[in-house]
Amino acid sequence: MFQTLAVRKAQGTQYIADLRAAQPSGFRGKPVIATDACAPNCRACADICPSNAIQLNASTADAVAIDLGRCVLCGDCAPVCPSQKISFNNDVKLCATTRRGLVVSAAHPNIDPIAVSAALKKRFGRSLKLRSVSAGGCNGCEMEVNAWGNVNFDIGRYGIDLVASPRHADGIVLTGVVNRNMMDALQIAWQAVPEPKLLIAVGACAISGGVFAESETLAREFMDQYPPTLYVPGCPAHPLTFISGIMDLLGIAG
Amino acid sequence: MTHTPRQAWAQVDLKTFPLLSTSELVAQCIQGLEANFVLISWFGRAALATEPAGVVVTAVLLPPGQPLVLLRGHAQPGAHYPSLTASFAGAQIFERELWEQTGLVPDGHPWLKPVRYEGARQGRMGEYPFFKVRGAEVHEVGVGPIHAGVIEPGHFRFMCHGERVHHLEIQLGYQHRGVEALLLKKPPQHLTPLVESMVGDSAVAYAWAFNSGLESLTNRPVALATIASRAIGLELERLAIHLSTLGGLATDTAYLQAAATYGRLRTAIINASQRACGNRFGRGWIRPGAAAPIGEPLRQDLLATLAAFLPDFVQVNTLMRSSRSVQARFQGVGTLTTQAALDLGVTGVVARASGVALDLRHSLPGAVYAAFAPAAHTETSGDCWARMSQRMQEAQASAQWLIDRLADTALNLADTPAPFAPLAPSAPGGCSGGWSLTPQALCVSLVEGVRGPVLLALETDASGQLAHAKVQDPSLANWYGEAFALRGQAISDFPICNKSFDLSYCGNDL
Cα distance from B153 to chain A (closest Cα, Å)? 7
Q: Which member of B123, B199, B284 has the closest CB to residue A74?
A: B284
Judge if the upstream peptide bond of residue A236 is cis by omega within 30 degrees of 0.
yes
CB distance B175–A134 less than 8 Å? Answer: yes
Q: Mutate which of A15, A43, A81, A139 to disrupt the B interface (most B C-beta within 10 Å)?
A: A139
DSSP state at residue B43: E
Q: Could you give the CA distance from residue B283 to residue B198 in angstroms, rounded to a whole number?
A: 12
Q: Does A24 contact B271 at a Cβ distance shorter than 8 Å?
A: yes
The Cα B492–Cα B386 span in angstroms is: 19
Which of B175, B201, B286, B510 to probe by mutation at the A interface, max A CB count within 10 Å?
B175
- Asked if the Cβ–Cβ distance from B315 to A6 is below 8 Å, we say yes
Lowest mean pLDDT among B1-5, B85-89, B101-105, B402-406: B1-5
Query: How many residue contacts between A and B have a Cβ separation below 8 Å?
Result: 227
- Identify which of B178, B258, B287 has the shortest CB distance to residue A217: B178
Give the nearest partner residue to B260 out of A4, A11, A210, using CB atoms: A11
The pLDDT-based confidence of B1 (bands split at 50, 70, 90) is very low
Query: Strand A171-175's sheet: what is its strand order?
Result: A160-162, A128-134, A171-175, A198-202, A230-232
Q: With bands split at pLDDT 50, 70 and 90, how would you rate the model's confidence at B423? A: low
Instruction: Enumerate the residues of chain A whose CB falls inside 8 A of the CB of residue B145.
Output: 182, 185
The pLDDT value given to residue B382: 97
3-state secondary structure of B242: helix
Which pLDDT belongs to residue B426? 47
pLDDT band at B4 (very low <50, low <70, confident <90, very high): confident
Q: Which residue of B has its CA nearest to A188?
A: B146
For residue range B333-368, list pLDDT tens digits in order: 999 999 999 999 999 999 999 999 999 999 999 999
Contacts of A216 in chain B (CB under 8 A): 178, 181
d(CA B425, CA B447): 31
Residues in A touching B125 (Cβ below 8 Å): 181, 184
- pLDDT average, residue stretch B11-32: 95
Q: Is A184 in CB contact (< 8 Å) with chain B?
A: yes
Q: A36 CB near a chain B CB, below 8 Å?
A: no
> What residues of chain A lie within 8 A of the CB of B276, using their CB?
26
Q: Are B24 and B73 in contact (CB under 8 A)?
A: yes
Give the helix/strand (H/E) hosting B276.
Answer: helix B256-277
Write the residue in A7, A140, A152 that is nearest to B200 by C-beta.
A140
Q: Please answer yes or no on whether B175 and A136 come within 8 Å at the CB atom.
A: yes
In angstroms, the Cα distances linking B510 to A76, A100, B456 are 24, 30, 12
pLDDT (0 to 100) of residue B422: 66
The CA angle B503-B179-B146, to the nearest 5 degrees, is 45
pLDDT at B163: 85
The helix-helix angle for B224-252 and B203-217 (nearest 10°) equals 150
Q: What is the pLDDT of residues B180-204, one digit of tens each?
A: 999 999 999 999 999 999 999 999 9
DSSP of chain A, one letter per residue?
Answer: -HHHHHHHHHH-----S-TTT---TT---SEEE--SPPPTT--HHHHH-TT--EEE-TTSSS-EEEETTT-----THHHH-TT--EEE-------BSSSGGGEEESSS-SPPPPPP-HHHHHHHTT-EEEEEEESS--SHHHHHHHHTTSTTT-GGGGTEEE-S-GGG-SEEEEES--BHHHHHHHHHHHHHSPSS-EEEEEHHHHHH-GGGTT-TTB--HHHHHS--SEEE-STTPPHHHHHHHHHHHHT---
Q: In chain A, whose CA is at the least distance from the CA of B285?
A: A74
Asked whether the beta carbons of residue A133 and residue B276 sit closer than 8 angstroms, the reply is no
**Residue B243 C-alpha, separation from nearest chain A C-alpha, in angstroms:** 12
What is the average per-residue pLDDT within B373-400?
Answer: 97
Is residue A13 less than 8 Å (CB to CB) from chain B?
no
Judge whether residue B425 has pLDDT over 60.
no
Provide mean pLDDT across the span B259-275. 97
Chain B: closest CA distance from residue A187 (Å): 11
| A:37-76 residues touching chain B, CB 8 A cutoff | 42, 44, 47-48, 50-51, 72-76
The pLDDT assigned to B445 comes to: 98
Which of B177, B321, B471 to substitute to test the interface with A, most A CBs within 10 Å?
A: B177
Instruction: Tell whether the torsion through CA atoms of B258, B261, B263 and B268 is positive or negative.
Output: negative
Chain B residues with CB under 8 Å of A144 CB are 280
| Cβ-nearest to A138 among B190, B198, B260 | B198
Residue window 98-127, chain A: list those with CB within 8 Å of chain B.
none
From first to last of its 254 residues, chain A has per-residue pLDDT tens of 889 999 999 999 999 999 999 999 999 999 999 998 898 899 999 999 999 999 998 778 789 999 999 999 999 999 999 999 999 999 999 999 999 999 999 999 999 889 999 999 999 999 999 999 999 999 999 999 999 999 999 999 999 999 999 999 999 999 999 999 999 999 999 999 999 999 999 999 999 999 999 999 999 999 999 999 999 999 999 999 999 999 999 999 87
Q: What is the ipTM of this complex?
A: 0.96
Q: List Cβ neighbours of B325 (8 Å cut-off, separation of 6 or more).
A: B253, B255
On whether the CB atoms of residues B153 and A182 are closer than 8 A, the answer is yes
